[in-house]
Structure 1
């Protein structure tokens, strides 16, 4: 427990609280239904201190508040998505008047608070880079863990930039939030030749990271979509030239996860770019025990349908409009067969 500095006349002193202090106050307030006055008497402190203890509990992630209105459609949408895709769905209610950038911020904020309780000590967590994960990383709630590792899922370099600064900032935020070790993957997002990738994958320094990815207990990613209103970073950041984009269109590719492309049925075989990508095989992703997919914007619906067909998610966090599109678009289709 933190020691409190003695108060001195005329001087205001800042207060910091330990998790145990905040947790005790939160349990009495939220679980035992005690008033703040009653808690103050029991803890021999002031009502204002109790208020600050409760605020500290919320800010540190010890307390998460969920509001369920009987008028909202989100619980029913979540039920339908869970039943259909066997995923734990979290639908973020947002008004239709918001633009996609504003919706992304709302989704990212709730995703960050949903991910926190899922993170355990001794975990190996794969994190992809991109616009959605960058937004999520800005809202993460600190949660101390022991012996936790954050590993980059795919390389970020291209012909314009190394991508290190962009990807490393996302990883740094995740590592800082959970007190975790960060392992970067300093390779190109796409190799020029498949033979170069094969040679690189044989190097011991790269094998170390690939072997760590094989030990992942959790993966956090979004879905890239070619026809999204807000283009995914891989399609707008100089990673693909016109001929490669044409090749994806001709191959009926609907999206990607961590720069691994797939079609509407979730299959990734026979897509030439996948032979040169640094992203993990979909078979590896689908074998991870916990797979958190964050999606914002109904224009990503085709990519999301493909990812769900591939069985890539166990937890799905998405906005209400996208959830409605998902339920409507999938009406009458057969349930996904499961992982590749």
Structure 2
């Protein structure tokens, strides 16, 4: 939004929402038309100048948020979604909330790590523009596989994030998985790759979804030709429940001994835990096992999820045995 239109939208919003003026009254004061005032109010909402909150006394979201916050020590946003919506529609609703949550957290001079995947692709389509300076969007993991370079898929996500925040985009042009761990070791010594790794090490925000082997809405890493049958068998025998940025973990959050991680180009879980703000976006109850594993691994500081998944998470935790 141009600076003059931004100022007009802010004035209109203040008069409408804070001073309770009608659109006709605002139009007279701004010496414009009622339709222009309507467009300014819409622009104020779309740009994040105005955020609408509805307090429903029957809403169980706040209760679920409190339970999840206390159990996992995360800031949580539960998105109310009708049970009649399918998984794709639910994902879209969660993505809208995620985009609105992420915007205020992004500041100038930030290095923001973004993982590619079905969830982040949806989120990237709903980002609202915010002016920042000297910010960087860095890709967290490679996207190539045996069938495609993955550049178009991943770069579209990174480009949308970069455009939304006026940030420089740094792609990671390596495969999602190397065929051999030794190849990864050699590539990690290349200066061009080290530059990206150094940016990742300085991240102030990491944004990611949770991949899940058995999700109804397939995670891209499992549906996009990244893993062959032998790889899937390895995951099964290693009791893997999910991944973040193509780094796999078990239901207890552990990742040691999972040999595919030695060939993965995503940041190790220990490195990810060093990032100050870690925003995890999850949609769909079929990802519950992956989500529980990610939370057990302490990978998230912020969690955005749909109401049905939140309820399932709380139900699981209420039945889980406690140590001691």
Which interval holds the TM-score relative to the shorter structure? Answer: over 0.9
Question: What are the Cα deviations for residues 196-222 of structure 1, in whole angstroms up to 9, with x where unaligned?
Answer: 101100000000000000110101100
Residue 12 of structure 1 corresponds to none
Alignment length, in residue pairs? Answer: 323
State the SS of the aligned residue for 1:72.
coil
Residues in 1 aligned to 2:322 and 2:294: alpha-carbon distance in whole angstroms = 13
Equivalences for 1:321-336 in 2 at 5 Å? Answer: 321-333=308-320
Residues in 2 aligned to 1:28 and 1:147: alpha-carbon distance in whole angstroms = 34
Residue 225 of structure 2 corresponds to 238
Residues in 2 aligned to 1:202 and 1:274: alpha-carbon distance in whole angstroms = 18
* Structure 1 residue 23: Cα displacement: 1.4
State the SS of the aligned residue for 2:145.
coil
TM norm structure 2: 0.95
Residues in 2 aligned to 1:212 and 1:21: alpha-carbon distance in whole angstroms = 38
Which consecutive unaligned segments of at least 5 residues does structure 1 have? 3-15
1:314 to 281, 301, 308: 301
Q: CA distance change for structure 1 residues 55 and 17 in 2, over 3 Å: closer, same or farther?
A: farther
Which consecutive unaligned segments of at least 5 residues does structure 2 have? none
Residue 298 of structure 1 corresponds to 285
Report whether the alignment pairs 1:159 with 2:146.
yes
Structure 1 consecutive aligned stretches of length 4 or more whose deviation exceeds 4 Å: none
Residue 49 of structure 1 corresponds to 36
* Structure 1 residue 332: Cα displacement: 4.6
* Structure 1 residue 185: Cα displacement: 0.1
Higher helix share: 2
State the SS of the aligned residue for 1:30.
helix
Question: What are the Cα deviations for residues 70-98 of structure 1, in whole angstroms up to 9, with x where unaligned?
Answer: 11211111111111111111111111111
1:265 to 233, 236, 252: 252
Equivalences for 1:210-225 in 2 at 5 Å? Answer: 210-225=197-212
Residue 73 of structure 1 corresponds to 60
Question: What are the Cα deviations for residues 95-154 of structure 1, in whole angstroms up to 9, with x where unaligned?
Answer: 111111111111112211221111111110000001111111111111121111100000
Instruction: State whether residues 28 and 39 of structure 1, in contact with CA within 8 Å, keep that contact through their aligned partners in structure 2.
Output: yes
Q: CA distance change for structure 1 residues 35 and 283 in 2, over 3 Å: closer, same or farther?
A: same
Worse-matched range after superposition: 115-124 or 23-32: 23-32
Residue 13 of structure 1 corresponds to none
Residues in 2 aligned to 1:294 and 1:111: alpha-carbon distance in whole angstroms = 7
Residue 81 of structure 2 corresponds to 94
Instruction: State whether residues 17 and 53 of structure 1, in contact with CA within 8 Å, keep that contact through their aligned partners in structure 2.
Output: no
State the SS of the aligned residue for 1:293.
strand
Q: CA distance change for structure 1 residues 335 and 256 in 2, over 3 Å: closer, same or farther?
A: farther
Residue 29 of structure 1 corresponds to 16
Bigger Rg, structure 1 or 2 = 1
Residues in 2 aligned to 1:54 and 1:185: alpha-carbon distance in whole angstroms = 39
* Structure 1 residue 174: Cα displacement: 0.7
Report whether the alignment pairs 1:286 with 2:284.
no
Q: What's the RMSD between the two structures over aligned residues?
A: 1.8
Residues in 2 aligned to 1:256 and 1:108: alpha-carbon distance in whole angstroms = 19
* Structure 1 residue 334: Cα displacement: 6.9
Q: CA distance change for structure 1 residues 33 and 289 in 2, over 3 Å: closer, same or farther?
A: farther
Report whether the alignment pairs 1:117 with 2:104.
yes
1:39 to 26, 29, 36: 26
TM norm structure 1: 0.91
Residues in 2 aligned to 1:26 and 1:216: alpha-carbon distance in whole angstroms = 35
State the SS of the aligned residue for 1:126.
strand
Residues in 2 aligned to 1:273 and 1:79: alpha-carbon distance in whole angstroms = 36
